[in-house]
Structure 1
């Protein structure tokens, strides 16, 4: 069975974006932070509509080598690449089926509206949180309501000289 990994950058106070949805607070691309290695392990992405549009606004489509599933109730206005497929159906059923298909890691890019129900349903196997040493004070939180507390198992940590920390956890298996 394929695994789903939520690999995402968050501020120290738990936000994935500023209140206006921007991510200008993220570090510049001077440092890789393990991104290339992780990306090489994946062959598919899961994105919510807001995350998809934010990526489109930042330039050319960066994930053309992967199969990209964008969850949206609206019809797409544009598709930058043939690798992008829009999914209008129920996310949980779709991801359950996708995990059963042959392939490599499925990268849950975000956002929190998509990630939260997948976490609650036990469809996320690992969390890779890149904690950026910035306090935003407000914004779009990573953590939405979770039905039950979860105890995570630490797989590894890594730190960089700028204070950024990778926290890599395994989530408990659900029946």
Structure 2
């Protein structure tokens, strides 16, 4: 019997909880001195599926790349508008929570939810996220796009691990169910 797949958020944030500026810039993040790839490769080996909201996917594609940088991973983008699947991504026009519940029951590695926003908010509300791996940068933005939206939910967490990558601090939490 295979172990149950987990939905994991792996993301960086400013000390005051923003994942980007209001203008959707991450320039501040690349000014922070890290260590190697800050644990990205290690994390990437634990997943085989990547979930995006359409807004996050569009942002990634606006960064001047020709194709998604997630080779050999199943990539799904949740959207309300019909889109044609591409070689490296499938567009899902159904309820994200139900679709993800089905994915969690299939065999495989963990599932990475990329970005914050609506998708993360709905997954947290439905207690669908299992772990949070958050890298905190020593930067205060004052305003921007928050990692966690205000909402009618409360989650209790257990700290699994804490480590640093030069100036980044990584907090790895498990969400209590």
* TM beyond 0.5: yes
SS of equivalent residue, structure 2 residue 45: helix
Q: Is the 2:35–2:165 Cα contact (8 Å) retained in structure 1?
A: no
Q: 1:149 offset after TM fit, Å?
A: 2.1
Q: 1:123 offset after TM fit, Å?
A: 0.6
* Unpaired segments ≥5 residues, structure 2: none
Count matched residues. Answer: 170
Q: Is the 1:50–1:111 Cα contact (8 Å) retained in structure 2?
A: no
Root mean square deviation of aligned Cα: 1.7
**Counterpart for residue 27 of structure 1:** 30
In structure 2, C-alpha distance between the alignment counterparts of 1:37 and 1:21, rounded to whole Å: 27
2:108 to 100, 103, 107: 103
In structure 2, C-alpha distance between the alignment counterparts of 1:85 and 1:3, rounded to whole Å: 20
In structure 2, C-alpha distance between the alignment counterparts of 1:8 and 1:87, rounded to whole Å: 23
Q: Are residues 1:67 and 2:70 paired?
A: no
Q: Are residues 1:83 and 2:62 paired?
A: no
Q: Which sits farther off after the overlay, 149-158 or 29-38?
A: 29-38
**Counterpart for residue 176 of structure 2:** 172
**Counterpart for residue 7 of structure 1:** 10
Q: 1:20 offset after TM fit, Å?
A: 1.2
In structure 1, C-alpha distance between the alignment counterparts of 2:153 and 2:35, rounded to whole Å: 38
SS of equivalent residue, structure 2 residue 120: helix
Normalised to the residue count of structure 1, the TM-score between the two structures is 0.90
